[in-house]
Amino acid sequence: MTIDYHHLKQRQFPEVRQSYTEKDCMLYALGLGLGADPTDRGQLQFVYEEGLKAMPSMAAILGYPGFWIKDPDTGADWKQLLHGEQRLRLHATLPPSGTVIGRMSVKSITDKGAGKGAIIVTERRLTDAVSGALLAEIEMLTFCRGDGGYSAGGQPSDSLDSALPSPPDTAPDAVCDLPTRPESALIYRLSGDANPLHADPDVAATAGFERPILHGLATYGIAAHAILKTWCGYQPEQLTALDVRFSAPVYPGETIRTEMWRQGDRIAFRARVLERDRIVLNNGMARLRT
């Protein structure tokens, strides 16, 4: 099979109604490593029910319809997929518990050419189920390595939004080192992503990894933690946008260093693992409330 542009663009996703509790909120934060210092009151407010707050990056995992691209009718080679980028716009502070509704659509499909892959961008609007208020807009860019050349028969190919900016070629204004624990992926997967790649050593080996890897969205959330800690005084309402490109996997137990550059109300950033000196997130851009 091959990608059918019109079929994918017109795909109707079921509305996802999801309720989450304070325990879910705390479990998500624990999966990112918050609470590693139990005396740090900034971290404690995300993992302790007294005055509990939600990590803003949690919006990226709510109201998601699941691994839809694996469905046979998509035509995509799901075994060749990579999570390329994640973009998030926060319109309100995420409550520590509640019910949300996720509505997703395919925004664009771009053919990079035979042997070069295709790119599918989905967009999801997350609203509060009670008030109807818009909480967040989430974009996910998926790189379909096995589906390039689909437009050769005359199907359309969309243009992409502007690329995420590269970080400055100067020393960062701040760095934040956050350790991950060996069991980080086993904790994080309880927040909804049960892909065995992150738990089963045999599956990881088949995919070419020496051991299970950390979820990309966990690394994304750890970068959000670094930004909240460094620039926001752990006030989640101060973070209004978080965009990033995924560049390499993290192994649980490694230390993630987030390097940040202040640019007015924006923070350019990237992240690397110290143990291998490997950049794992790049072209990051966060926006702060002025």
Q: Catalytic amino acids?
A: 193, 198, 213, 216
Please report, as a single letter, which amino acid is at residue 214: L
107: left (phi over 0), alpha (psi -120 to 50) or beta: alpha
Q: How many Cβ atoms are within 10 Å of 17's Cβ, its own excluded?
A: 11
Taking the C-alpha atoms of residue 223 and residue 184, their distance in angstroms, rounded to an integer, is: 15
As beta bridge partners, residue 133 has: none
DSSP per-residue letters across 210-261: SSPPPPHHHHHHHHHHHHHHHHSTT-GGGEEEEEEEE-S---TTPEEEEEEE
Residue entry with tokens 């998500």: 28
CA 237 vs CA 81, 89, 177, 219, 240: distances in Å:
33, 12, 22, 20, 7
